[in-house]
Amino acid sequence: MWNLNYWVFNSQMNVLQQQLQVAQQRLSQEQIAREQEAQAIQQQLIREQAIRQQLEAELAQLKSVYEREANINSSTNRNNYITGNRFYIEMESTLTASFSECSGFGVNLKKEAYLEGGVNDLQRIVVGHAEFDDITLKRGMSDSQTFWNWITNTLTSLEKERRNVNIVLFNQAGETMQCWTLIGSIPISWKAPAFQADSSSMAIEELTLAYEGLQLTQTSGAGASIVQRDDSGFFAPN
């Protein structure tokens, strides 16, 4: 009887040992699988980090290029930008005074509209002669008699002095950007300021010019040069 019990006990122990070995093998396999999975995840993280670093480097390079181009464009635009207060007027080939205002720039083309029979949704436009608006110059009065001498010549002399007057615009860097030439200009009006004993403001005189043509260049020429009509009856630009 004792032998039978021992045999049963021994058989059960063998079964338990086999089950334990199977469990240990399964646990070892699962541990190996988890380690392999952790290694794969770590490698994936390393690859993703490398990609992220590469993208950050490319983004920083693009940002640097963009900022450099923005600075260049900003500087170029700033230098090429023309403000309304950066101008001077060449009178008698020199800057004879500081002008506070120059107004009246403009040209209008005469037009005539013709209506064609049977065409109700269109009109024919025929362009005629150009009409240039008068230019008004204002400056602080000084001991310079440039304006007055010119208007006096126009009033008294049979041979009127015609001048090519330059109105020069420049950018923030002081470079000449545009030069408008009033071809064959002549004064048609001069106004003195009102004088008041209690006024402390600067005395401003006005000179209004009419002209026969308008020319635009990017360089200033011989401003206010006295010109004569050529054989065709027109005044030559500078």
Q: Is residue 76 part of a domain?
A: yes
Co-location of 48 and 107 in the same domain: no
Residue 114's domain is classified under what CATH number? 2.30.110.20
Co-location of 104 and 66 in the same domain: no
- pLDDT for residue 21: 81
- pLDDT for residue 210: 94
Distance CA 121, CA 219 (A): 46
Distance CA 19, CA 127 (A): 109
Q: Is residue 173 part of a domain?
A: yes
- pLDDT for residue 133: 93
How many separate domains does the chain show?
2
Q: Is residue 114 part of a domain?
A: yes
Ordered DSSP codes for 168-218: EEE-TTS-EEEEEEEEEEEEEEEEPPPP-TT--SPPEEEEEEE-SEEEEES
Q: Is residue 211 part of a domain?
A: yes
Distance CA 179, CA 215 (A): 8
Co-location of 119 and 207 in the same domain: yes
- pLDDT for residue 79: 54
Co-location of 72 and 153 in the same domain: no
Domain final position from 63, 80, 97: 80
Residues in the chain: 238
Q: Is residue 238 part of a domain?
A: no
- pLDDT for residue 134: 94
Distance CA 238, CA 219 (A): 11
Co-location of 187 and 156 in the same domain: yes
Co-location of 7 and 110 in the same domain: no
Co-location of 26 and 111 in the same domain: no
Distance CA 58, CA 218 (A): 42
Co-location of 131 and 217 in the same domain: yes
Distance CA 183, CA 211 (A): 6
- pLDDT for residue 209: 92
Distance CA 235, CA 162 (A): 9
Co-location of 212 and 108 in the same domain: yes
H or E segment and range at residue 91: none
Stretches where the chain sits below pLDDT 50 are none
Residue 206, phi then psi, degrees to nearest 5:
-125, 140
CA 100 vs. chain centroid, Å, equals 25
Co-location of 112 and 155 in the same domain: yes
Q: Is residue 232 part of a domain?
A: no
- pLDDT for residue 126: 92
- pLDDT for residue 3: 57
Co-location of 71 and 92 in the same domain: no
Looking at residue 32, its amino acid is I
Query: For 235, which DSSP code?
Result: B
- pLDDT for residue 72: 56
Co-location of 157 and 221 in the same domain: yes
Which domain covers residue 181, as residue numbers?
87-227
Distance CA 238, CA 228 (A): 12
Domain final position from 56, 80, 104: 80
Distance CA 73, CA 70 (A): 5
Domain final position from 80, 102, 137: 80
